[in-house]
Amino acid sequence: MMSEYPKISIVTPSSNQGQFIAEAIQSVLDQGHQNVEHIIVDNCSNDETLKVLARYPHLKVICEKDRGQSDALNKGFKIAKGDIIGWLNADDLYLPGCFDHMLKAFSTHPSYDLVYGDYCFVDVQGRLIQIRKELDFDLFMLKYLHVLYIPTTTTFFNRKIFDEGNFLNIDYQYAMDYEFFVRIAQRGYKFGHIPQLMANFRWHKDAKSSRQAANQKDEMEKALLEQDEFLAKLPLTERNFMRNLLMYLSRFKRYVLKALRGAY
């Protein structure tokens, strides 16, 4: 059970994001909450990152080589002391009121194990590209949509998820979030959606999601087949047909729900 004033841990994996990371750090500080720890797991960056981090003595910094983003995040999750743990990439940032919205959701819905909110796409300079309003959690859409609609930058976990041995699969470098969300959802952890803008997701040419879209798609398909026994057991021709059918059905469902709720 969470305390009345839960401790919040934010884990930020970092690798040569020196031009952005100060904004990420400041966005945590600007939440105005005292009971917060911010853990930076840096992959021995050789840009200005370490000089930026040195300006913030409150940070808990791990600087060592890792086996990728999943490994870095797991290191942070394992040492986090918070009752609630957030995942903030070094090039993203929280919006004002993010922690307030998150804490209210966990307080109002104590059965939630994970919450996520809405977000904005912004460019390198932080200029708005698009507002993304998401839908309430739906396992069917999560599995088959082939687009991860749960943004990690607005996602906060009840620490029991990690206390019970659930961590990212370090074999995944591009779709580790999709694989993790599907896995814990199928284990019965409860997801909650917060209909509030909570963070900015920075879209730029060096972002992993921009550079490795094809690899991400391949890893998502791999994760789905590892966790969906029905699809995995089908012969290849039938599996491809059923996979496409489920994808189109989930896209249609998402389109209808967004139209009904005005969540564009």
> 114-122 and 128-132: which strand pairing?
antiparallel
pLDDT attached to residue 206: 61
- pTM for this model (two decimals): 0.93
pLDDT attached to residue 213: 79
Residue type, 213: A
Domain holding 197, by residue range, is 8-261
In a domain, 164, yes or no: yes
pLDDT attached to residue 208: 57
pLDDT attached to residue 262: 72
pLDDT attached to residue 203: 86
In a domain, 1, yes or no: no
Q: Residue 152 carries which DSSP code? A: G
In a domain, 254, yes or no: yes
pLDDT attached to residue 258: 87
pLDDT tens by residue, the chain, 264 residues: 566 679 999 999 999 999 999 999 999 999 999 999 999 999 999 999 999 999 999 999 999 999 999 999 999 999 999 999 999 999 999 999 999 999 999 999 999 999 999 999 999 998 999 999 999 999 999 999 988 999 999 999 999 999 999 999 999 999 999 999 999 999 999 999 999 999 999 986 665 554 577 899 999 999 999 999 999 999 999 999 999 999 999 999 999 998 887 766
Q: Residue 227 carries which DSSP code? A: H
In a domain, 3, yes or no: no
In a domain, 2, yes or no: no
pLDDT attached to residue 214: 85
In a domain, 201, yes or no: yes
In a domain, 234, yes or no: yes
Mutual orientation of helices 176-186 and 69-79 as an angle, nearest 10°?
50
DSSP output for 65-107 = --SSHHHHHHHHHHH---SEEEE--TT-EEPTTHHHHHHHHHH
**For the chain, first and last CA: distance in Å?**
35
CATH number, position 255: 3.90.550.10
| Number of domains the chain is built from | 1
In a domain, 23, yes or no: yes
pLDDT attached to residue 151: 93
pLDDT attached to residue 261: 78
> 84-87 and 60-63: which strand pairing?
unpaired
> 60-63 and 36-42: which strand pairing?
parallel
